[in-house]
Each structure stands twice: as C-alpha cells, then as structure tokens.
Amino acid sequence: MIGVTTLDEFIIDRQDDFPFATGDLSRLLRDIGFASKIVNREVNMAGLVDLAGAIGSENIQGEEQQKLDVLADEVFIKALKNGGEVCGIASEENDDFIAFENEKSKQGKYVLAMDPLDGSSNIDVNVSIGTIFSIFKRKSEVGTLATMDDFLQPGTEQVAAGYVLYGSSSMLVYTTGNGVNGFTLDPSIGEFCLSHPNMKTSESGKIYSMNEGNYHLSPQGIQTYLDSCKKEEKTARYIGSLVADFHRNLIKGGVYLYPSTTKAPNGKLRLLYECSPLAFIAEQAGGSASDGFQRTMEIKPTELHQRCAYYVGSKNMVADIEVLLK
C-alpha cells in the first residue's frame, strides 16, 4: 500500500534481523496479527451480541471466566495450530499447556505463552482490554510433543513478545529484541499499520499506576513510595487493565506497580504471560521491570501460572522502588 507500512510488510522486511531465521517466526507473528483482528472484531461487538458477562465457569485460578476470554483463547489456539509454527501453547485460561498433536505443529520450533484477554473484568464497562504473548524457542526436539520445560524459561530466552490493545483504537505492539514497534489497526482496510516506529519510554515519568486500595496491604517500601509520589505531585492513573496501563505509561513515562500484598503474598500478575513479555518490551524501549529484588526477565518460572510482584516502566522509577524495598 502506498505510503503505509502494514504489519505483514514490516514483519517480512525485518526477517533478516534473526540470524537463524527461516521465516517461521515471521509467519507466527503474522498469525498472531490475524487472530487478534478476529478478537478485535468480537470485542467491538461484545455489547451488541450479548457476549459480555460471565459464563459461570472458573479457570484454574478460581476466577470467573468471561465469554470473551474463552473465545479469544479459542481463536488464538486455532490460528496458531493451523499455522504450525508453534508446537504448544500455554494460556491463562487453561490449567495445562496444550501440546499440538498434529504432525505439522510437532515440527514447530516455537512455543507461545499468552493471556488471551487480559483485564477481562473490564469488558462489561467498555474499558480497554488486551492480549499479551511471549514466544520461546522450544527446548525439546523438533518433531516431538511440546514439554513443560519448553515453557518454563526465563524472560531472557524470549525471541519475541508483544501485546494487542483493544481500545479507542486497537494496536499491536511487539519486539523481537531489536526495538519496539507499534501498529494501529485501520478498520477501513482491516490492516495493522505502522504508527509508532521504534518506541522509547522516558527514564523518569510523572505517572504512577497502582490499585491504591491495596495501600495498607503493601510492603512498607511501597507505602513510602506512594507517599513520595503524592508529595512530588505525580499523577495517579490506574485503569485496572494491565495492557492499557502499561501502554499509556510506555508512551507518557511512568511506572506500574503490583506489589506482593498480605492478601496476595506473591503478587497477582502472572510471570510467564503477563510480566515477562511486558518486561521484554519495557527493556527494549529503554525502561525496566523488576519484582523489587530481581530483574523480571531473569526469573525462571517453576510453574506455568506462577505469580510475581511487578514494577515496570520508566527505569529510574523502578530503581527508586527497588531501593525502598531493600
């Protein structure tokens, strides 16, 4: 298309970024783009076709599943199974990872971990929600079934990660370790178009984002940090939709906090498919991510749905939090 770079064109142009590239990762990223367009369509229709609301079942973490969670999960799984580039998928919505049994997928070199629809408690009230994904090279032998070890890799091993924000406009943002690029969906042509090339975040920002209802449940260091934000007249912004809060802070500068609390001693967010992928993007944009003590990307998960405390965004702000937690 004249004057516009679509996601598909961009991915093909960038294929040479990977020394080992055979085009599989590029195809995988395009499959993700395709699946997210379908999810975007369903999200936009949610109010119209009675998709919003709970279906009455619970996922492994005892949370109510929303219809759209299940739908998004199915859309991504189907698209990626058909694509054949991943041999397995781990999802927030499924207790266990799925190892694809079809021959084509067993040849896949990658595994993908995802939160197919994050922030889904916001669907009913028309607030932005998102998809988060993380891609690893498999550890097991190509041609066999995916194994748990394929998924339990630290964020430093990611070959790509990204998110899709279904908001006032929908965006796909991803990194393969060579910077961060953002694409906005043009609904008139049904394409993600490059709108935010080489995204960078500022070293310090004015925004802090935390559910401050958890103030008294949070470590003393976090209470001190929040007090200092108020003294410095920083701006409080919290949507309760991680992708949307992260995206705003990435662009405007700021920090997102989800500490461990007395109610949730390991924090709330999931390492593998929420924290690690956004940490990769934050770092690639010049920011950082930590659990308060350790770089998020270096934490090796021991289980699929492992939670961790999470501080992500402008690097000076994350560093200030780490100092206060020591």
Which residue ranges make up the site for Mg ion (CB under 5 A)? 115, 118
Return d(Cα 103, Cα 175) in angstroms, integer: 29
Write the burial class of residue 195 (CB in 10 Å: 0-12 exposed, 13-18 middle, 19+ buried).
middle
Based on the shown chain and the rule CB under 6 A, indicate whether residue 268 belongs to the binding site for ligand AHM: yes
Chosen from ligand AHM, Mg ion, none, partner binding at 240 (C-beta under 5 to 8 Å by type): ligand AHM
Nearer to ligand AHM, 26 or 40 (CB): 40
Return d(Cα 129, Cα 178) in angstroms, integer: 26
DSSP 147-199: -HHHH---GGGEEEEEEEEESSSEEEEEESSS-EEEEEEETTTTEEEEEE-S-
Based on the shown chain and the rule CB under 6 A, indicate whether residue 118 belongs to the binding site for ligand AHM: yes
Chosen from Mg ion, ligand AHM, none, partner binding at 218 (C-beta under 5 to 8 Å by type): none
CB of 46 to ligand AHM, least distance (A): 15
CB of 45 to Mg ion, least distance (A): 21
Return d(Cα 119, Cα 129) in angstroms, integer: 5
Chosen from ligand AHM, Mg ion, none, partner binding at 157 (C-beta under 5 to 8 Å by type): none
> In the window 181-200, what residues touch ligand AHM (CB under 6 A)?
none
Q: Residue 26, Cβ neighbours under 10 Å: how many? A: 22
Based on the shown chain and the rule CB under 6 A, indicate whether residue 120 belongs to the binding site for ligand AHM: yes
* Residue among 52, 88, 317, 297 nearest 203 (CA): 317
Based on the shown chain and the rule CB under 6 A, indicate whether residue 119 belongs to the binding site for ligand AHM: yes
Binding to ligand AHM by CB under 6 A, coded x per residue (else -) over 50-79, reads -------------x----------------
* Residue among 38, 37, 34 nearest 85 (CA): 34
Which stretch in 73-81, 100-108, 112-120, 161-169 sits in contact with ligand AHM by CB under 6 A? Answer: 112-120
Reported as half-sphere exposure (CB side, CA atoms, 13 A), residue 67 has a value of 14
Give residues in contact with ligand AHM (CB under 6 A): 63, 92, 115, 118-120, 211, 240-242, 245, 268
